[in-house]
A and B are shown apart, each in its own frame.
Chain A
């Protein structure tokens, strides 16, 4: 299946753009305004002419008024340096594959939105290989639902340095974050050296809001561990408390690192998620 031409992806591709921050970031010349001065049309400030400055930026009117060579500085235009990290662990296969599907749709959407900004997105798949494989925008079709086979969590991959990020890149992490980890340590590592970090937590509706279903033998698809449990109000309340604690910790750590954290219920579908979650969370922006 081609995730590039997924119908839902294409629909949302035309509706949204990446909500990149107004704070200048680093990157090659492009549509994104950088921190430094550049060749964009947006005026930034004046300064005295120095040797080597482009004489095309001399403000002749100011020179006529003051006999002082002044150079107009324009804001630098850069291309976004986007890295999309997809959690490829088995835990992403729950919900009858819906979680994996939405993860790939989001990956495709973000990658193509980045491409429209003349960026060269890098897609890193968190599989249990060293180093983790990465893909370019042109290789988008190589992603498939069958790649979610890893039994190693993102936390372990980061600790093992199986994933490396470029400095000052925009990092989008797509995972369910349902693996044992320390949110503070994980977010710190993910955010380290990044210009922007977006953490998207994908959950099924049942994972987000389980219902009473009697006794079950719970089997962790990732670790294979089992737990006989009667799913009633009490156990559900405990589960919700732990999940909310996890999400709260991730959200706090995101705030501390100027990152963003959003929890998405995959059952709602990509369009709904974009409209109701990613747009309010300022991860996407309505297209012009």
Chain B
């Protein structure tokens, strides 16, 4: 059984011509003239004298039938009929290339004479519109977008009208990524009968076919020039209270290009933008230029735009930066250390970045002798150094050392050639060893406290650890872990798809309100946790984490991807699917073509027949 649907149901409006034709025939509006002699012999005696038109019984003439048939066929052709099995609905699974290069803008010739800018994304949607227009009206589709995690844009199994609405929000901003996860998911969604289309911006028609055999690849790209901001960073110097902006600008085109970089900010309460800096340069083809600009402190946010006639990808030409607000970590040194040890500790602290020495109450990191009781406090780090049982005789070790490499504190720590002295046995406290040698625990974490307490079972003065490169690495790792554990952002400017993790200070534990992440185009609710770990953020812009009315963090994500910024390799092309979807599936295009041809032949025959009938009448009239 076959079903009939219409790709363009508006074409059925042409059926309104049918009653029109009947009306014309009924009221003899188009009667051919026939010159005769003796009209009085034809007059109907029963005919009522009327000055207007007469309505008579509809004469079933060949002309009427031919004209009705022609009008019906024209209506069918206009409405683009599609024939599909009743029990089978065409299903198209579309995979959209979510790479940022799909936002590249190309010039297309509009209906008028002027060129018009349009994005490859719009061209892909237009192509999709054409594909779905050629399918049956009841065709269903599923749209995926590629990415590190393939995402469903529309569907599964929705109509094209519904999918079009979903595509309005599609904004491809991913960096370089693997398409295979999306293709695999598309294969699962397509099942045995669905067809697959991958819409991208480049395909190498000469190269070995890629992707699933059943998938057709359509590329709508075109080789384009581009200028991009490949790096943007903002550092703040508390000493001078000024900031440094580091930019790198690259010309991906094949010709020399001039550009203008403008940094603007919007002061609080001001309606207009204030220009902070401006730079105009010329870049040779494939050249990259670093820029360092000094900006005053307290700006808050900065928008940097790259303007050039050779710029075809707006996404990598705009950067939003948030002014960093670095906070120094306070380290307290508890009393009780031997002088030699104290000297080593102070010397170590002096080389640590962004730290200061303070009181125990204000400290985020406390370095204390091992036998000093640990103060239990959230977000407080505690490093106890020395033996827990001083009465024991310490031992020295040459290794080998077993390191818990998964712990970030031991990142890059090797302990090669280190002589570990002053090793004593632990007491009853619960410890998780991080560094051990045989049965000896050398470095461990204590777990029965709110404080993140670590125990370093060592004689600082007698070991070579403090003289090895492992010591500053270990201490920096500790300080950084402590810094990360403190509420608030540690970095304010991220690149797309970068993992963003920071702690927040939840003011009220009993509050049921959840923090929210407000992005450039969407808002999502975050779990109520002191550690915020954001999923991969691929959309550029300024983000803010709020709790109620208060802002907990504000940071920027910018697009930096050298491969996506290089648009020279984009191309238009097609790679046909290498496998027939289903041998039993109807070949829509062939049948459609056949039926259209038959309809056209019948249409021409109907028009010729009508012409013949009318011509015959005319001839008869002339002969009379």
Contacts and interface: CB of A to CB of B under 8 A. Distances in A.
B37 A94 contact: yes
A227 B43 CA distance: 8
A228 B39 contact: no
Which DSSP category, helix, strand, loop or mixed, fits chain A's interface?
A: mixed
B37 A178 contact: yes
Among B28, B34, B44, chain A packs the most CB atoms within 10 A around the CB of B34
A223 interface: yes
A95 B42 contact: no
B621 interface: yes
Contacts of A96: 622-623
A221 B37 CA distance: 6
Interface in B592-620: 613, 616-617, 620
A242 interface: yes
Interface in B83-98: none
A210 B37 CA distance: 12
A117 B445 CA distance: 154
Contact of B38 (A207, A215, A229, A238): A207
A246 interface: yes
Contact of B33 (A206, A216, A223, A243): A216
A232 B56 CA distance: 13
B36 A221 contact: yes
Contact of A94 (B36, B41, B63, B617): B36
A235 interface: yes
A225 interface: yes
Nearest to B31: A217
Contacts of B25: 215
Interface string A217-236: 11111110101111010010
Contact of B617 (A178, A213, A232, A238): A213
A192 to B, nearest CB: 25
Given A214-B59, A238-B44, A220 B620 contact: no
Contacts of A211: 620
Contacts of A246: 41
A250 B89 CA distance: 78
B620 A206 contact: yes
Nearest to A99: B37
Interface string B203-218: 0000000000000000
B37 A176 contact: yes
Contacts of B53: 228
Nearest to A241: B41
B40 A180 contact: yes
A219 B617 contact: no
B61 interface: yes
Most buried by B among A90, A217, A219, A238: A217
B31 A215 contact: yes
Contacts of B616: 213
A166 B61 CA distance: 54
For A176, A214, A239, the residue with the greatest tally of chain B CB atoms inside 10 Å of its CB is A214
B617 A214 contact: yes
B41 A242 contact: yes
B44 A91 contact: no
A219 B620 contact: no
Interface string A1-29: 00000000000000000000000000000
B161 to A, nearest CB: 46
A140 B624 CA distance: 27
B41 A220 contact: no
Contact of B28 (A215, A220, A235): A215
B466 to A, nearest CB: 115
B624 A95 contact: yes
Nearest to B46: A238
A225 B49 CA distance: 14
A213 B623 CA distance: 12
Nearest to A177: B38
Contacts of A207: 36-38, 624
Name the residue in A178, A218, A225, A232 with the highest tally of chain B Cβ atoms < 10 Å from its Cβ: A218
Interface in B48-92: 53-54, 56, 59, 61-63
Given A214-B617, A215-B31, A228-B31, A91 B38 contact: yes
B41 A243 contact: yes
Interface residues of A, number: 39
Contacts of A95: 623-624
A49 interface: no
Contact of A220 (B38, B59, B63, B623): B38
Nearest to B45: A238
B59 A227 contact: no
Contact of A218 (B36, B62, B63, B622): B36
B35 interface: yes
Nearest to A202: B37
A259 interface: no
A204 interface: yes
Given A206-B623, A207-B624, A214 B37 contact: no
B42 A229 contact: yes
A179 to B, nearest CB: 7
Contact of B61 (A92, A205, A214): A214
Nearest to A89: B37
A229 B39 CA distance: 11
Contact of A215 (B41, B42, B44, B61): B61
Given A96-B622, A206-B623, A227-B43, A217 B38 contact: no
Interface in A65-103: 90-92, 94-96
Contacts of B32: 215-217
B439 to A, nearest CB: 115
A17 B25 CA distance: 54
A210 B624 contact: yes
- Name the residue in B32, B37, B40, B616 with the highest tally of chain A Cβ atoms < 10 Å from its Cβ: B37
B39 A223 contact: yes
B609 to A, nearest CB: 13
Contacts of A178: 37-38, 41
Interface string B1-34: 0000000000000000000000001001001111
A239 B623 CA distance: 17
A129 to B, nearest CB: 21
A221 B36 CA distance: 6
A259 B63 CA distance: 47
Contacts of B63: 214
Nearest to B36: A218
Contacts of B37: 90-92, 94, 176, 178-179, 207, 220-222
B623 A216 contact: no
A229 B53 CA distance: 12
A216 B617 contact: yes
Contacts of B31: 215-217, 228
Interface string A194-206: 0000000000111
A255 to B, nearest CB: 22
A205 B623 CA distance: 9
A123 to B, nearest CB: 22
A243 B38 CA distance: 9
B54 A228 contact: yes
A207 B40 CA distance: 13
- Interface-central residue, A180, A215, A227, A246, by most chain B CB under 10 Å: A215
A92 B42 CA distance: 17
Nearest to B63: A214
A211 B621 CA distance: 11
A94 B35 contact: yes
B59 A232 contact: yes
Interface of A: 90-92, 94-96, 176, 178-180, 204-207, 210-211, 213-223, 225, 227-230, 232, 235, 238-239, 242-243, 246
7 smallest CB-CB distances across A and B, nearest first, come from A178-B38, A91-B37, A220-B39, A206-B624, A216-B34, A217-B31, A228-B28
13 contacts: A90-B37, A179-B37, A204-B624, A206-B624, A211-B620, A213-B620, A214-B62, A216-B32, A216-B33, A220-B37, A220-B39, A227-B43, A232-B59
Given A214-B59, A214-B613, A228-B28, 7 more contacts: A96-B622, A215-B61, A217-B28, A217-B32, A232-B59, A238-B44, A239-B42
